[in-house]
Amino acid sequence: MFHACKTQRGGGTGGVYTLPVVFHVLYNDANQNVPDSVIYSQLEVLNEDYRRLNADAVNTRDIFLPVAADCEIQFALATVDPQGNPTTGIEHITTDRTEFTLEIFSTVNTLDEVKHASTGGADAWDTEHYINVWICNITTDFPGAQIFGMSYPPSGLDNWPANSSSPTTDDDGIVVHYTTVGRNNPVSEDDGTDLNDLGRTLTHEMGHYLGLRHTWGDEFFGDLCSEDDGIDDTPLCGSGDQFECDLTANTCDDGTLDDQPDMIENYMDYNQDECYNMFTEGQKILMRYALEELRSGLLQSFGISTMKKTEQVLWPNPVADVLQIHPDWKGSDFRIHHTSGQLVQSGTLNKTEISVDDLSSGLYLIYFSKGEMTYSTRFMVHD
């Protein structure tokens, strides 16, 4: 079991971790070409969910509030590519393939073909230093089945079965079906359902990428309560909620007074997007351990800045009214974007502070540019 009390194996002292993401949009027709505005929306969803800033956090049931966690993990579009060139962190690539098919009974993951230009997909950016997300039309060879997303966990976690991690470095990353991206996706109902149109598919798959299993431990046959996710503060449950959003579910009731119901609001269940609202403290510890020990390249990446982040650039963070800026950046040009992509403030830094008291609560991106130096980071505004 991965115990939430084992603080020496997680949590760390790194504060809020900001991870660089690159989106590869593979499209064969206009519907599959997810626009940047939808990807900005998706990034906003990720940041809200992993910082517990999601509006529906108020729906977490009282019994689970003591373990509901701000994971102190957030995500930024890459601003520098592996060759050191400026980038938006989004690439749109046409493909001759109308679909990328997961062959259910194949001995290899055929969906990995989307990760290689030689098979109609797009080659990964340096997977040690960037989170690669491929957006495409996913199909299966099993009648009636639809896969919304798939990702590999890091290698070296004892809560996963052997051979669960990526078979090669170039295959590491996340694949999501184009209809599931963002909460403003104009073609979200192309897949015939409206249960997955709030951007939570990537929240779920990112959890796998950072080491989390399904809350029920992936047992579909036999004793459904015999498998677990390896985390103590997610109650034992059987086979997931299966998109029912059933608040009465208690599939592994042991008859004791302190038995807990199924945590169907957990992002690692199988559920409707509108029913998700939380990660736990135990899941936070595992994900941060995975970052510090198994995916540490993401914490050392220059993908979101060309300036090495060796000293504090802005503080306090979170902030209520005035951001203090390191003196080295006085005279730089700056711009502030909401994580939805909207530009909310820009100018030249004539002093070492920026007033943000007119910004609403939430997460923002700030970019500095001074000569050949650039820097980007995230900050949070609170009331």
Structural tokens at position 380: 């949070």
353 is catalytic: no
- By CB neighbour count within 10 A (0-12 exposed, 13-18 middle, 19+ buried), where does 5 fall? exposed
Asked if residue 52 lies in contact with residue 361, where contact means CB atoms within 8 angstroms, the answer is: no
Q: How far apart are CA 151 and CA 200, in angstroms?
A: 14
Best CA proximity match to 45, nearest among 198, 167, 189, 158: 198
Conformation bin of residue 130: beta by default, left when phi > 0, alpha when psi is -120 to 50: beta
Its sign, for the CA torsion 179, 185, 187, 188, is positive
Q: Residue 23: which residues within 8 A CB-CB, separation 6 or more?
A: 39, 77, 89, 90, 91, 133, 135
Structural tokens at position 139: 């199909």
3-state secondary structure of 331: coil
Longest dimension (CA), the chain: 67
3-state secondary structure of 64: helix
Asked if residue 340 lies in contact with residue 46, where contact means CB atoms within 8 angstroms, the answer is: no
Best CA proximity match to 355, nearest among 319, 311, 318: 319
Amino acid at 71: C
Q: Which of 205, 227, 265, 281 is catalytic?
A: 205
Q: How many CB atoms lie within 10 A of CB 377?
A: 19
- By CB neighbour count within 10 A (0-12 exposed, 13-18 middle, 19+ buried), where does 282 fall? buried
For the annotated catalytic residues, the residue numbers are 205
